[in-house]
Structures are given as C-alpha cells and as structure tokens.
Structure 1
C-alpha cells in the first residue's frame, strides 16, 4: 500500500530549503574532482558507485530549480516576462561558456609555448583549432566545437531555451508532456539524432534532445508537488530503488562493466552511453534521487542552515562552476607537466576546492554590502517553495 508524502508542519515557515543548494554544491565539487583525471580522488567520486555521474544530478537539479524559480510565474500575464528571464539566463550561460572556452584554450596554448610542451595542444579537443582555425572558431561560437570537460553549459543553455515550452506543457498536461519528452528521448537515442559538431564529425557530447527528459522529470515532479501533489512512497518502491542502486554498484566493479550494450538492444536501452543518456544511467539517477526524497534520514543529511559552506556554494552555482572548470584545467596542466603522488594530488584538489569556497563566500559577502535587506530576502522563499522537498519525506507503510 502506498503512503503519499505529506508536507511537514515545520516546512511551512518562510525559510529557504537548503537541501537543493547542498546537493547542487556536492554535484559541482564532484564535477571538479572528475575534471582532474588521474588523481586518487577521482576513484572516490559518485561515478564510481553506479551508472550515472554528477552530470545527471546537475541536470535533474536544474529541472527542479527551474520549477522553483519560474513555476508560479508562468501564468497568463506573466509568461512573457518569465520566458525572457529564462532566455536571458540561457544567454548568460552561453557567454560564460564562450569565455571559459577561450580562457582554457589560452591556458593550454600558453603552457605549450612557454613550457615547451606542444603535446598539450593535442588534448581536450584543442588540436582541430591548430589545424583548421577559421572553421573551428565558427564551431566554437555556434557550439559545434566543444572542448573536453567544457561541455555542460551548452546543454544547460539549450535546455533553458526550450524551458518555456517545457514549463507551459508540463503545467497544463504533465502526463502527456512526459510521454512526449520520453518519446523524444527514445527517438533521439535510437536514431542518434543530436546537434552536430562542426567542423569535426560527430555530435554534442551531451545531447539536449536526450537530456531534456531528465530535466523535464525534475521539472514535472517539482511542479506537481508545488501544486499540492504527493510523491508516493512505499516499501516496494524503496526496495526496488535500493536494489537497483546496489546492483549498479556491484556491476560497475565487475567484469560486466564496459560492455557497449546488452542483448543486442539499442545502446539507449541496453547500454551506458552518456551522450544519449542510456536507460540504465537514467534509471540510476532516478533511483538515487527517489531514495534521497523518500527516506527522511537520508534527506535530512542535506538539510543545513543557510550560512553553511555547502549551502552558500550551491547558491552561487554558476560563478563557482566557471571557476571550478578553469581551476580544474589548470590542475590538469600541472599534473601533466609535473605528475605527483598522493600528497601532490591532495594539494591540487584541496586548493581548488578551497578557491571555489572562497569565491562563494566572497560573492555572499558582496551581496550584504550596504546593509540592505536584499541579501536577507534572497535567503527566504515562500513556504510553497520550501515545502516540496519536505513533502517527499513521508514514511512508507510498515
């Protein structure tokens, strides 16, 4: 028997729910560590415990965040303004991506020149720029050429461009919207439909036509709860999710891992492809998220005060992500020039994380200058925004 999740009374107060900020912060820090490959810490991140990785968590949280930010604003009379705000945010992400790309290319080129390490120009998809500069520059501006480890912002910007249609459709016909979204995911995966690279062959590393499904699941779930809906929680669903998560943990550390696809199924169904978000990856992030939402003991681990370092880091996600990307690229160059051991890796990773926290705290402090109430207002949101995660914390029928 299913027990619906009901709002906690203490969540009706006007206070920001920091769990989304904390989860976003953990995703950002995980992405940073994963973007410095070869260190001992890379073997300890989320991707080593199942089929999905921090990118799936980031996109799911992004869908939830869009519902929180624009769900109540996307009504007759306010849709145009909400649409323009989402598109403006997409523009900010685009500019951030271009600037980050240019900084990273300049970094690798500078080290290649001044440290006499030309082999660096063959890494992270920079080599085509050296061979085919005019076309690659066009590709960078049109997002057809993306550097390795610098390909999350394009898909997020594309999703935000599509978000007004998503919000409108999900708000009016949530089930139909998810069916259409899932069909698009399936069609794009089976027939490999994705934005093309330019001038190099291939597709975007993260296909927005596939990843929109995960984004819309987060969007739909949060809009559903904000309208007073409930997330069903029972022992069978919890047991199934836990079983899948444990099976994935065993799978990725067994000889089974590494197979392109199973039973000759399309890769999007039986494989683990990241570009088209294969079904095992999608189910894994949904299972993990369900356990976080359904189990109060787990969910409360991420509840902190608004001034907690992780809450502040997650709140300043875009500048922290940009800084983390550049710092990770610097760390990559340093490990290539001067490979070190555990102590060296520890210094690099800890210094990079410390710089990201320092930036987040600086931005938080900057918002309080002048003693205005603006910063305090940003810390609080109406109860309906805080309630959604709380509504996902009912107990299963025993």
Structure 2
C-alpha cells in the first residue's frame, strides 16, 4: 500500500475495525469501526449540507447568497446525496455479507419506510403551516405557493396523491427521492458485492437512459414528474457507495497532479459561469441535455461533475480534509450525527420562515435574522438529541440492575 502524501486514504485494522489518522494524509478511509469509533468528517460535511438546505429553503435572505449554488453548478442537494451514498456504504457493506443479506435488506426497507413516513409527515405539516398562515394573517394567496393549490382545489385527489408520492410540495422533495434510493439499495449492494465496476456501469447507463428519454416518476395532479428524479440521482448515490468501499480497502483516491488541476480548472469555470450568469450560452453541441445541460431533475453531467470535483479535492488535499475533522462534541458534528431529525426540523422551520417572509413583504433583513436564529435552533436541537441519547445510555445499566 502506498504511503505518504500520495496515499490519502490509509486503513489499519486492529480488533474488529480500527481507524487511524495520518497527519500526512487527506480524508482517511472511513470504515465501520468499533461502536465508539466514528469519523466526524462525514458528520461535519452532512451538517454543512443540511444547514445550507435550510438556508436555501427560506429564499430571499442575505445568507442565501453565500451558499454553494452561487459558486458552481451543483448545490447542497448533490452534496447530501453523495454523502448519503458514502454513509450507507459504510453502514451496510459489512452487514450485507453472504448469509446476512435478508436481515440487512429488511433493515434497509424499514429505513426506507421511515423516510417515506417522514416525507408524508413533513408534507402534511407544511400544508398545515401555510393553511394556518392563510387564516391567521388573512392571506389566502399563501395557498397558491409551493404547489399547494392543486391539493386545495382537489382535496379528494390531492391527499391520496400526497400519500402515494404523486404530488409533492415545493421544498419537500428530497426525502421522497431518498426513500426510493433506499429501496434500490439492496440491489445496489448485491451488485456491488459481485463487481463494483458493474454497479457503476449499470447505474451510469440507467442515469443516461432516463436522462435521454426523460423517464421519471409522474405527478398525479398535473403534468410533469418529480423535481428530483431518483432514477437519475441513484448514479451519484452509487458512486458514493463504491467510493466508501474502495477507500476502506486501499489507498484511494490517490492524488494525481493532472486530475487535481483539471478539477480546479473545472471549478473555476463553473464559478465564472454562475457569477456572470452565462446560462444563455448554447452548450448542447447536438448532444442530449443530460450530458450538456444544467438540469437538476435529471442531474445533468455538469452538475454531477461539479460535486465530484469538489469531493475529489476534499479527499486528496490534506489541508482541506483536516478542516472537517472536528471533535465529536463540536456543534457541527452533533448536527450531522442526527441527519434525519435535523432535516425534518429544518424543513418545518423553513416552511414557517417562508410564511413569515410572505406576510412581511419578503424583507431580506427579516429573512436573514430568521435564518440565523433557525440555524441556532438546529444546533440546540442537535444538542437536545445528544442529551436524550445520553439519558438512554445512562438509564440502561440502572434498568438492568433493577431487573437483576
């Protein structure tokens, strides 16, 4: 195994799985270690994605201009899915061994159902928040925002459509896509166990096909399809799975000067493109839009390559990698540790923020103040969740003693 600066990922095993940090290396391989072992960089990166999603879901605030979407083709959604792919790869790779696949698949399907319930719950709460705002502030126009009107006008069709994922409100479409990805995960892990390259090829061909022929889950109440197409985004998810497995078994990705330069140039072009709004330039070259466009629904190649370029630089440049290696007690680490709960809480806060922005004339200063307070609440909620976990751990020995 190569060592030194050209070997950014390095794993040594001791006991079950032990993770060692090399000062000379970049993002160390993240493997399922002992129960107390956890690489905080994944948590920190997830936390930053979640906080950015919250900020962007209250449009009109000044902090929104500082988020990733203003500096390149991709945004926090791509980062979230890539990190999720890495996380599930780490969580389920060893559990999906021969003889354990049925149990592991059952746990994955249970997680998918949890995500589905969370999506339906947040959608219902979102509807209640906007309906309550319409009544409280005498602003019926609120019911025409974020794709609510179809459900208001056709409630008998709208409610079943929500439950069957055939109608999604604006800013409430990540969890449904993620739930479908989890349904696909057992098949991905099975293929990965046989041949990781085959998984990437099959996933890439599916991404290309659905992008060329615009294949996506349909909406029931109006024309069109899901805003985030899981059949496209599964490619990024699969890349994360393979990356986590590869990094856990070898020094990968290795730092390559040419590839590093290409990534920096691509990020620079993306930055200039977004800052100067060069969207009117025709980049089609007669090729399908999924290869040359900037569509988020089908995860066009420029967006996909942008998040992968960012990930490569984070993984191979030690100085960048160490920025995310924060202590387990750090507030950002705590936020990332409770990803689903924080996402749900952040979505509810964002929907309340949108209503308040509407009734206050969308004043940027108010939105900025609200978002700043909301981020503080996300940190506080993460601490509260940590406290609950601590209570559970402390109470377990006492319960065992009493039972004895």
2:226 equivalent to 1:204: yes
- Contact in 1 for aligned 2:11/2:250 (Cα 8 Å): no
Q: Give unpaired runs (5+ residues) of structure 1.
A: 376-398
- Contact in 1 for aligned 2:11/2:249 (Cα 8 Å): no
Q: SS at the partner of 1:73? A: helix
Which deviates the most, 111-120 or 301-310? 111-120
2:29 equivalent to 1:7: no
Q: Normalised by the size of structure 2, how large is the TM-score?
A: 0.89
CA deviations 1:98-119 (Å, max 9, x no partner) are 1110011011111112211011
Which deviates the most, 169-178 or 118-127? 169-178
Change (3 A) 1:248 1:123: same
Q: Which residue of 2 aligns with 1:333?
A: 355
- Which whole-Å CA distance do the structure 2 matches of 1:305 and 1:189 have between them? 41
- Contact in 1 for aligned 2:151/2:158 (Cα 8 Å): yes
- Which whole-Å CA distance do the structure 1 matches of 2:229 and 2:355 have between them? 28
Q: Give unpaired runs (5+ residues) of structure 2.
A: 13-17, 22-33, 398-404
TM-aligned CA deviation for residue 67 of structure 1: 0.7
- Contact in 2 for aligned 1:105/1:126 (Cα 8 Å): yes
Change (3 A) 1:273 1:342: closer
Instruction: Give the alignment partner of residue 169 of structure 1, picking from 165, 183, 191.
Output: 191
- How many residues of Structure 1 are paired with residues of Structure 2 in the alignment? 375
CA deviations 1:282-312 (Å, max 9, x no partner) are 0000000000001000000000111110001
2:366 equivalent to 1:344: yes
Q: Which residue of 1 aligns with 2:92?
A: 70
Which deviates the most, 135-144 or 278-287? 135-144
Q: Which residue of 1 aligns with 2:212?
A: 190
- Contact in 2 for aligned 1:260/1:272 (Cα 8 Å): no
Q: Which residue of 2 aligns with 1:291?
A: 313
Cα root mean square deviation, aligned: 2.0
- Contact in 2 for aligned 1:22/1:314 (Cα 8 Å): yes
Change (3 A) 1:226 1:255: closer
Q: Normalised by the size of structure 1, how large is the TM-score?
A: 0.90
TM-aligned CA deviation for residue 255 of structure 1: 4.1
Where in structure 2 are the equivalents of 1:1-398 lying within 5 Å? 3-7=6-10, 11-12=19-20, 15-228=37-250, 230-258=252-280, 262-339=284-361, 341=363, 343-369=365-391, 371-372=393-394
- Which whole-Å CA distance do the structure 2 matches of 1:147 and 1:359 have between them? 25
Q: SS at the partner of 1:306? A: coil
- Which whole-Å CA distance do the structure 1 matches of 2:315 and 2:395 have between them? 32
- Which whole-Å CA distance do the structure 2 matches of 1:304 and 1:267 have between them? 40
CA deviations 1:240-276 (Å, max 9, x no partner) are 1111111100111124225575324221111000000
TM-aligned CA deviation for residue 6 of structure 1: 4.3
